[in-house]
Structure 1
Amino acid sequence: MSKNRFLEKLLDGVQVEWKPLGEVTLRTKNIKWKEATKSYRYIDLSSVDIETKRITETSEITANNAPSRAQKIVEKDDVLFATTRPTQMRYCLVGDEYDGEVASTGYCVLRVKKEEVLPKWILHFLSSSEFKNYLEENQSGSAYPAISDAKVKGFEVPIPCPDNPKKSLEIQREIVRILDSFTELTTELTTELTTELTLRKKQYHYYRDQLLTFKEGEVEWKTLGEVAELKRGRVISKRFLAENSGDYPVYSSQTANNGMIGKIDTYDFEGEFVNWTTDGANAGTIFYRKGRFSITNVSGIIKVKDQSQLNCKFLYHWLSIEAKNHVYSGMGNPKLMSNQVAKIPVPIPGLSTQEKIAAILDQFDTLTHSITEGLPREIDLRQKQYKYYRDLLLSFPKPEEAAG
């Protein structure tokens, strides 16, 4: 039974031929700068936004200041694909406003034979999981991966009903219409959710600042070294992580994945803690940790001495504001060392007040930062849903499948 009844019905038994991109695209021309008499907008590798797949910023160039890579003349409906770091998936469709402008040689320019394929037919296939897998298999170089134009043009795309171009384009147009609708809907929903997330973050920061602002004489103040124990992590190499894999997380100085870089079969800490990062761009970033885990030597642990006097979650929210103010940025490498952390002033309101403040801020914190709850997860689900249906609609039978 077919996994895709819609596609099966749309094809209605017509033949599907797979062709390399090179067979359904035209040769393009480079600019002759010696003959150029005007200025051009230059589409370099940073001009195309990876997320929106649109040209966002260009520079103006002439024969006198054109970079050596500014060579390829582009036309409306050309598909540009960046061949350096290809799995970043930097590509776009050229619109009216960039017709006749100049692109970097870092792009493969795909100018389709419009009597055979639609430009957006190619564009959607470049977004597919199958194409990304093809890139991973065919790119070369580890430090600076790239793929040649020839390899890009070697990727095969399906051409439905190749002997009847009119019907073929009708089929392509219907699938493109559906995918465009999915893309538009996903973009609208993601924009709406991202806007909501931004508002939630602002709301969280507003209430956090309000709730954690105390008038002079209103609360007792102590240094963090007086109310907590501070410890640093240990060196944990990638090799150690690989050789001692287990169930207990290891946290480092990164912010991605909540700071976790792997899991091992032992742990250094157990309980409730505040975790701070000590080095680099993320120095002073604060995390709340609970359970059994370890940390690396570029982060530190804060353990409340007396929880009947100081709530750990309250301390976490306070330090999420205050810690960054104590980062030392000298010598080009930001640092927040234990002796600096120990001097951070901490307000000590009544325990019930601390718990109330922590409970309110926890709700905002969960909504804005959690991966498994709240808006970030919803955005991720929307994008996965689009990718699922996109790949389903582009799952044309290969010759061996059709024969089977």
Structure 2
Amino acid sequence: MEIYKLGQILNLEKGKSKYNAKYVSQNIGIYNLYSSKTKDQGIFGKINSYDFNGEYILITTHGAYAGTVKYVNEKFSTTSNCFILKVDENIAKTKFLSYLLLLQEKTFNDMAIGSAYGYLKNYNINDFEVNLPNLKTQSAIIKIIEPKEDLFFRHKNLVRIDSEENTKKDLSILIKIIEPLEKQINAFDELILSEQKSLQHYLNYFLNKLASINPSIFKNYKLGQILNLEKGKSKYNAKYVSQNIGIYNLYSSKTRDQGIFGKINSYDFNGEYILITTHGAYAGTVKYVNEKFSTTSNCFILKVNENIVKTKFLSYLLLLQEKTFNDMAIGSAYGYLKNYNINDFEVNLPNLKIQSAILGIIEPLHKKINLLKQKKKLLEKRSIYCQNHLIKEKIKDE
């Protein structure tokens, strides 16, 4: 093993500032233009020319995910929010170094966020030290990882790449323990998605069928006519949660953990409500709750007039409109949902008797979906437990 500063073993360049959305629209082609975006594998667009051709490592310099590392082997260009690293193959294999730098993404991100500039500078990379095994060992490690590269990317913190023996041992454990759990979790995801599509299909089918047979049982309402809309409180943040830990769910616009931001020792609402997230990439997400709870200011809380519509029935109806709500938020001048987006939204409702009948048909499907989600959650907990155990074993070996 030998220690090098990155500046000793690679040439660092930066992408061009001319590349923007207008440039892409005027120069559409087949070559990837990379940027600091995190979706679509970092591809900003496809253009009709390229600046680089071959094996390189890209590191994003700006944004919340500055320091993201990507290996490429193609004809490509990048925006000015990327470093392009050309490695001296007499000292380090490009792909091996990309694996090594992937393990340092958090460090690079901290450098960017913690700096006076708020982004990565050339010296952050050039002065960064790495410990390299010889070329023969690097090649052997690449050969071990490549067939299971996706698995390595997902759990890179569990794999040592300092020696062929350690890499083989760590990756073998991932293949035997973690990968089968992931496959089971993915299978549950597919089942849940299938059942959700069935539920939506049946709901649409019954509503459309009934409307064609007897339209008189339906009445059109603006949501503001059939519910009271409130917004969560701005006081709820991470600090508040840490100082007021309890048993009551605090919901927010986050998409993981069923939208639960944390658990606190008080509640603002008690009973059946519909929540709609207002901010973020997933604004417009709909959730039915029946409990004691609170929400952050990134949620609307809808209290329904049960003399006109059943809360649970309306929640299913609004679930079908999530894409519409999301488009409203993203397409608005504000970038989030406003009260009037919800209050002025129109729904066509059957009478209460029909609502109850439809609920009787689709509720068993909903219960099945919840059961599948619970089983999936147990598998996820088991996977996390195994990963934590492997981290402890890895530290012990080191």
The TM-score by the shorter chain falls in which range?
Answer: 0.5 to 0.7
Q: CA deviation at 1:269?
A: 1.7
Within the candidate set 18, 22, 46, 2:7 is matched to 22
Q: Greater helix share, 1 or 2? A: 2
The answer to whether structure 1 residue 82 and structure 2 residue 60 are counterparts is yes
Within the candidate set 48, 58, 61, 1:60 is matched to 48
State the distance in 2 between where 1:394 and 1:75 align. Answer: 38
Report 1:236-255 matches (<5 A): 236-237=234-235, 238=237, 243-252=243-252, 255=255
Pairs aligned (count)? 350
AA partner of residue 338 (structure 2): K
Go from structure 1 to structure 2 and tell me whether the alpha carbon gap of 1:127 and 1:211 turns closer, same or farther (over 3 Å shift): farther
RMSD, aligned α-carbons: 5.2
Report 1:393-404 matches (<5 A): none
Name 2:168's counterpart in structure 1: none
Q: Secondary structure at the match of 2:303?
A: strand
Report 1:1-400 matches (<5 A): 16-26=1-11, 44-46=33-35, 50=38, 53=41, 57-60=45-48, 73-85=51-63, 87=65, 90-96=68-74, 98=75, 102-128=77-103, 131-140=104-113, 145-160=118-133, 162=134, 165=135, 167-177=136-146, 179-180=148-149, 182=151, 202-213=197-208, 214-215=210-211, 216-217=213-214, 220-221=217-218, 230-237=228-235, 238=237, 243-252=243-252, 255=255, 257-277=257-277, 285-296=285-296, 298-303=299-304, 305=306, 312-321=311-320, 332-333=333-334, 334-337=337-340, 340=343, 344-347=347-350, 348-350=352-354, 353-363=357-367, 366=370, 374=376
Q: CA deviation at 1:154?
A: 3.3
State the distance in 2 between where 1:136 and 1:320 align. Answer: 36
Q: Render the CA deviation track for 1:23-61: whole Å, top value 9, x for unaligned.
A: 332466999x9xxxxx99876443x87467475733236
Q: Render the CA deviation track for 1:285-315: whole Å, top value 9, x for unaligned.
A: 4211121102356512324647xx9654333
Name 2:170's counterpart in structure 1: none
AA partner of residue 295 (structure 2): I
Contact 1:53 1:90 in 2 (8 A): no
Contact 1:274 1:302 in 2 (8 A): yes
Q: Secondary structure at the match of 1:57?
A: strand
Q: Render the CA deviation track for 1:253-286: whole Å, top value 9, x for unaligned.
A: 5655544444432112222322345689867542
Q: Secondary structure at the match of 1:95?
A: strand
Go from structure 1 to structure 2 and tell me whether the alpha carbon gap of 1:264 and 1:224 turns closer, same or farther (over 3 Å shift): farther
Contact 1:249 1:262 in 2 (8 A): yes
AA partner of residue 102 (structure 2): S
Contact 1:230 1:338 in 2 (8 A): no
State the distance in 1 between where 2:43 and 2:188 align. Answer: 23
Contact 1:20 1:153 in 2 (8 A): yes
State the distance in 1 between where 2:152 and 2:128 align. Answer: 23
Go from structure 1 to structure 2 and tell me whether the alpha carbon gap of 1:26 and 1:176 turns closer, same or farther (over 3 Å shift): farther
AA partner of residue 149 (structure 1): N
Q: Secondary structure at the match of 2:54?
A: coil
List gaps (5 residues or longer) in structure 2.
Answer: 19-26, 154-174
Contact 1:43 1:58 in 2 (8 A): yes
Go from structure 1 to structure 2 and tell me whether the alpha carbon gap of 1:116 and 1:247 turns closer, same or farther (over 3 Å shift): same
Q: Render the CA deviation track for 1:349-400: whole Å, top value 9, x for unaligned.
A: 35762442332441575489x5x555x9989999x89999999999999xxx
- Bigger mean CA deviation after superposition, 175-184 or 204-213: 175-184
State the distance in 1 between where 2:286 and 2:243 align. Answer: 29
Which protein is bigger by CA-based radius of gyration?
1
Contact 1:24 1:113 in 2 (8 A): yes
Q: CA deviation at 1:191?
A: 9.3
Contact 2:34 2:77 in 1 (8 A): no
Contact 2:32 2:47 in 1 (8 A): yes
AA partner of residue 177 (structure 1): E
Q: Secondary structure at the match of 2:45?
A: coil
Contact 2:33 2:43 in 1 (8 A): no
Go from structure 1 to structure 2 and tell me whether the alpha carbon gap of 1:296 and 1:178 turns closer, same or farther (over 3 Å shift): closer
Relative CO higher for 1 or 2, CA cutoff 8 Å, sep ≥ 6? 1
Q: Secondary structure at the match of 2:123?
A: helix
Name 2:164's counterpart in structure 1: none
Q: CA deviation at 1:151?
A: 1.3
AA partner of residue 117 (structure 1): A
Go from structure 1 to structure 2 and tell me whether the alpha carbon gap of 1:89 and 1:284 turns closer, same or farther (over 3 Å shift): same
Q: Render the CA deviation track for 1:321-357: whole Å, top value 9, x for unaligned.
A: 3688799889735434499379744322357624423
Contact 1:134 1:155 in 2 (8 A): no
